[in-house]
Amino acid sequence: MSRVYNFSPGPAMLPEEVLQRVQHELLDWQGRGMSVMEMSHRGNAFMSIATKSLADLRELLVIPDNYRVLFLQGGATGQFAAVPMNLLGGKSQADYVNTGIWSKKAIEEAGKYCRVNVAASAERSKFTTIPLQQDWKLEPFSAYVHYTPNETIGGVEYHWIPETGAVPLVADMSSTILSRPFDVSKYGVIYAGAQKNIGPAGLTIVIVREDLVGGEHPGTPAVFSYKTQLENDSMYNTPSSFCWYVAGLVFDWLKQKGGLARMAEINRRKADKLYKTIDDSDFYSNPVDPACRSWMNIPFTLQDAKLDAVFLQESASAGLVALKGHRSVGGMRASIYNAMPEAGVDALVGFMKDFEKRYG
Ligand SMILES: *Cc1c(COP(=O)(O)O)cnc(C)c1O
């Protein structure tokens, strides 16, 4: 067996220890004679998996008691619609901050349900910056403020939490949740698709402040209703049980690794190494304002785009895969979530230096 360092933005790498445990338990989970895939989600075996994973996530993120956690389906994209359906209440408007492709998609979807006030946009900088909060035009009668803490494609990340007073703050944390500790109590709703930093694709985590539940639009589909799903412990319909189980193993792994403070240290060091390699050279570049560079997704271009194909081919041969940048940005992108070992980043840095020597 030989495993590569996979820099895919998502579905992304999972910790090898987790995959091994899945393999070990695949045919017979803890003496039950069946795989988790084959279990009733209502049986006591799966209930114990669900309960433990929830408790571990609450512990890792230090989720306050007045917040509830949902394990849903539909991806972050499903939440682009679920958020306005659940949170508008009687209001007809929400504030959105536009920092790139994922914010734009959230804005577009919300526009089906309400008037969207784009409170700030980084479009003029070609999404290489984050608008300062002092320049945001928030409106007090908006139902909530939505933002994207980490733009997976552009590689821009907030290293601060917006202040929105009494208006609930909503965050699409798909590509940054669990990368470091943060204060959950600053938020109304947090959601994240699992396939970046949590587990396999097919699971969506929603963390919602209790008092925001219950005012949903009557047309809200039951599977997307926070209220209905909370009343049914995320099992109003069959949940994505196998993904939920793997996510639980990832939470367990994170706890064993020392939790999110430790992950933050490692993630910061991994990102610093890669940015330093880029900044120290004239051969590679990253267009993002250093104040808002992502720890998780690092796009970079080569001085001569004609070398892109060679770079991709040679890096893949060296066991460094999925480095091709998003078509909208071009060049390369290294996604380095929790499961990317520091040795993977070291290997990439080594490869980049060597490639520059040979072609620079
Ligand atoms: C990947 C991603 C999405 C889309 O997630 P799906 O699970 O495919 O719906 C949305 N927002 C961000 C920030 C992402 O990184």
Residue 1 pLDDT level (bands cut at 50, 70, 90) = confident
Q: Is the CB of 149 under 6 A from ligand 1?
A: no
CATH code where residue 94 lies: 3.40.640.10
Residues 233 and 304 in one domain: no
Best residue among 99, 151, 174 to mutate for probing ligand 1's pocket (most ligand atoms within 8 Å of CB) is 174
* Cα of 10 from ligand 1 centre, angstroms: 9
Last residue in a domain, options 198, 223, 256: 256
Q: Is 21 helix (H, G, I), strand (E, B) or coil?
A: helix
* 119-135 average pLDDT score: 97
Alpha helix positions (H), 26-97 = 44-61, 75-87
Residues 295 and 190 in one domain: no
Residue 270 annotated to the active site: no
* 250-271 average pLDDT score: 98
Backbone angles phi, psi at 207, to 5 degrees: -115, 120
pLDDT at 328: 85
CA distance 318 to 145: 44
* 130-156 average pLDDT score: 97
CB 342 within 8 A of CB 270: yes
Q: Is the CB of 199 under 6 A from ligand 1?
A: no
Kindly report the number of other CB atoms within 10 A of residue 23's CB atom. 9
CATH code where residue 335 lies: 3.90.1150.10
Give, for 5, the enclosing helix (H) or strand (E): strand 5-6
Residues 63 and 171 in one domain: yes
CA distance 72 to 69: 10
Query: What are the structure tokens assigned to 44, written together?
Result: 């006591």
pLDDT at 80: 98
Residue 276 annotated to the active site: no
Residues 32 and 81 in one domain: yes
What's the Cα-to-Cα distance from 163 to each of 37, 71, 168, 346, rounded to whole Å?
42, 27, 10, 37
The answer, yes or no, to whether residue 284 has pLDDT greater than 80, is: yes
Q: Is 254 helix (H, G, I), strand (E, B) or coil?
A: helix
Residues 177 and 71 in one domain: yes
Q: Is the CB of 10 under 6 A from ligand 1?
A: yes
Residues 238 and 316 in one domain: no
* 44-63 average pLDDT score: 98
pLDDT at 143: 98
Best residue among 8, 73, 77 to mutate for probing ligand 1's pocket (most ligand atoms within 8 Å of CB) is 77
Last residue in a domain, options 256, 275, 295: 256
Last residue in a domain, options 256, 283, 304: 256
Domain total for the chain?
A: 2
The answer, yes or no, to whether residue 333 has pLDDT greater than 80, is: yes
Residues 169 and 56 in one domain: yes
CA distance 217 to 170: 18
pLDDT at 329: 84
Q: Is the pTM of this model over 0.85?
A: yes
* Residue-number span of the structural domain to which 317 is assigned: 259-359
Residue 56 annotated to the active site: no
Q: Sign of dihedral through CA atoms 335, 339, 345, 351?
A: negative
Residue 38 pLDDT level (bands cut at 50, 70, 90) = very high
